Structure 1
Amino acid sequence: MEPLKKEDYTTAHGLLLPRGLAWPRTSGSVLMRLFAGFSRSYAALHASLILLIRELDPRSTTAFLSEWESFAGLPDECSLVVGTESERRAAVVSKITATGGATAPYFIAIAAGLGYVGATVTEFPVSRFGRVRFGARFQGRPWRNVWQMNLSAQGSTPARFTDRFGTRFNTSGNTVLECRIVKLKPAHTTVLFHYGT
């Protein structure tokens, strides 16, 4: 929706006037110049209202982004304190729209909402005696509640021999995504993150 211009409001005022010699509609008349003066305020108010409508949606906000962040409780432990405006906006939308779920499509949608399109989820079937072929990978009962999120290799850094003892073998720049997934996953499950094609 585009805001109306000053001339549109002036024309509308002129069309609403009653007919007669006392109500001149020529552009140079005192009455139409008075309406033109009023119309500047109306056009500015209309533009402000349209901007306010855009700001009321967290997907398109710019001026009220900090208010939306405080409403959503951001920054939290799962979000970047300093990020680009689009990253901050995506974090707000992700936090507000996260309703909870325990399905693979739900977590894939969270990853896509944070900018990681193409993520997949692998669930590990539990091996049962008599139902597993010889030579197949054995996954006992603890694997019943383990699942893996497969992501592209964005920001993935393998550990080096010179790293300190206790560092992860593979650290990533996807800490926001990992934290959000770990926070929203069902409490009885364990999630693994796999980076690569």
Structure 2
Amino acid sequence: MECVLVSGTQAPRTLDETRNGFFAGLLPQGWAWPRPDGSNLGVLVGGFSYVLHDLETFLASLADEISPANSTLLLSDYERVLGADPCGTDPTTLTLAARQAFDNARWIGSAGVTWGFFERLATARGVSISIDEPEPAICGVAVTGVDVCSQLRDRFIWVVMLPNHETGLECPIQRNNPPDLTVVFKYEDAN
């Protein structure tokens, strides 16, 4: 199948281009194989070129289905492959744009390792968060490089400040955080 690039997306060949491609690519050269549209062979090839043209048009329409971000025809198939959301969100209750964004986020990525990842996750839900990484307590003199009051796991704690309990961000943050990180949530409305 040969497609041409039109404004950033691939467009299928026109019916005439499909028929001419059939003539040029599949039929041998010579006077015994007439190519005019009115010939018997031209009519036969024309019939096949309709089917090929319909196939190319259908395949070009699937170009947006390559990821859930733009998918409409295959969106429910992506959701079936992804399975139920561990945080309980039902994507079918969302608008199409929100559903595409939600499914695409589950499809392409998780396990953020930077504050920016979690801040973008919150921003996508219309929430502003802050993250603090407190220094572990060190009491007295360290003996052979070991902290006296703290343990190694104390170095991997993030305190995430959320506006309130209704943001729904606790589960997505817990689901996407690195495995060696402990996330603690604090709420601004609790102060």
Aligned to 1:85: 96
Residues 53-104 of structure 1: CA distance to partner in whole angstroms, max 9, x if unpaired? 4324222221111111121123443423511122222222222333313420
Following superposition, the deviation at residue 2 of structure 1 comes to 0.8
Q: What RMSD in Å do the two structures reach over aligned CA positions?
A: 3.4
Distance in 2 (alpha carbons) for counterparts of 1:193 and 1:69: 32
Distance in 2 (alpha carbons) for counterparts of 1:78 and 1:192: 22
Aligned length: 161
Q: TM-score, normalised by structure 2?
A: 0.65
Once the two structures are aligned, what percentage of the paired residues are identical? 25
Cα pair distance change 1:27/1:193, threshold 3 Å: farther
Distance in 2 (alpha carbons) for counterparts of 1:33 and 1:4: 19
Q: TM-score, normalised by structure 1?
A: 0.63
Following superposition, the deviation at residue 190 of structure 1 comes to 0.8
Question: SS at the partner of 2:12?
Answer: coil
Following superposition, the deviation at residue 118 of structure 1 comes to 8.6
More relative contact order, 1 or 2 (CA 8 Å, 6+ apart): 1
Q: Alignment partner for residue 9 of structure 1, among 8, 18, 36?
A: 18
Instruction: In structure 2, give the amino acid aligned to 1:89.
Output: Q
Aligned to 1:184: 176
**Which residues of structure 2 form unaligned runs of 5+?**
1-9, 139-149
Does 1:47 find its partner at 2:47? no
Following superposition, the deviation at residue 46 of structure 1 comes to 1.5
Question: SS at the partner of 1:2?
Answer: strand
**Which residues of structure 1 form unaligned runs of 5+?**
130-140, 152-169
Distance in 2 (alpha carbons) for counterparts of 1:127 and 1:145: 9
Say if 2:158 and 2:182, in contact at 8 Å, map to a contact too: no
Say if 2:134 and 2:158, in contact at 8 Å, map to a contact too: no
Higher helix residue share = 2
